[in-house]
Amino acid sequence: MYYFLGTITGQHEDERSVAQCLRRLVREGDVFFDLGANFGFYSLYVAPLCGKSGAIHAFEANPYLIKHLSCSAELNSGCGNILVNARAVGKESGKDLPLYDPEWFGCSSLYAHEWLNQGSKVMVPLVTIDEYVRQNRIERIDVMKIDIEGAELDAFQGMEETFRVCPPKAIICELTLLPDENDPLRQSAGVLRRASSAADPRKLSGFLEQKGYELWGIADDGRLRTWEAGKLTADEPLKLANAAFVLPGLQSSRPEMFVPL
């Protein structure tokens, strides 16, 4: 509740704006993809919004969380169709990769970030969204939420066919913002660094722009607002920001979702 609802005095990071955005965005009958479902907050939150005529596809690689996610999905089956996938999402299928620090719920990653206990890891199976969509004969994805600790670009690279056939209308994505390469903050001693091969927010944004998406910020009330130019870098060593990548047609079909200029 600290993280999702901001109920702790002095808290500087929470997900209330994302929850509000999904409440505005998701409609009855929608198909929702939850990449990095954790213990299922968003899958469960969105389930009654999609209703029994929609579906939630929840992906979580951490074996410590799967039993909780599966139990919650079963307990809430009356209000929505939640399909739990105990797999990581990436750019290749049919292989296993190490998930570092699985005991740290919400921060474990396929990338060996400096803040993780790299001596603790578990092998997890990998699947591409393309293969999953083909195997399950999915014809539409309305909204996608992705928060997989630096592996986001890998997941998008495993969606080439999906972007052509049934692209999500909106993708809610957590970005890890970093100072510019030459910024002294980035070179400071004692600053914990993410793995160098993890997704750079500028490359991730550029990749999705090539697929036709536009980058938007998320206002406190959940509506989408213009993303400030140049804000894909940070003024502190490590900063998280939630962003929305949307196809242009969404603004014309759902104008109420956007903050007027």
Predicted confidence (pLDDT) per residue in 165-216, tens digit: 999 999 999 887 776 666 555 555 445 566 655 668 888 999 999 999 999 9
Q: Is the pLDDT of residue 137 over 50?
A: yes
- Give the pLDDT mean for 238-243: 80
Lowest mean pLDDT among 37-46, 109-118, 242-251: 109-118
pLDDT band, very low/low/confident/very high, at 162 (cuts 50, 70, 90): very high
* pLDDT tens figures, 215-226: 999 999 999 999
Euclidean distance between CA atoms 157 and 229, whole angstroms: 25
Give me 88's structure tokens.
Answer: 């990581």
Euclidean distance between CA atoms 18 and 222, whole angstroms: 6
Residue 129 near residue 211, CB atoms below 8 Å: no
Give me 72's structure tokens.
Answer: 């919650």
Euclidean distance between CA atoms 37 and 35, whole angstroms: 6
Helix (H, G, I), strand (E, B) or coil at 245: strand
User: Beta strand pairing status for 143-146 and 170-177?
Assistant: parallel
Q: Is the pLDDT of residue 83 over 80?
A: yes
Euclidean distance between CA atoms 84 and 59, whole angstroms: 6
**The predicted structure's pLDDT at residue 11:** 53
Residue 233 near residue 178, CB atoms below 8 Å: yes
- Give the pLDDT mean for 234-256: 85
Please give the CATH architecture assigned to the domain spanning 16-257.
Answer: 3-Layer(aba) Sandwich (3.40)
Q: Which of 59, 102, 55, 64 is nearest to 84 (CA)?
A: 59
* pLDDT tens figures, 86-112: 999 999 998 899 888 888 777 778 777
pTM given for the model? 0.89
Give me 146's structure tokens.
Answer: 């992705």
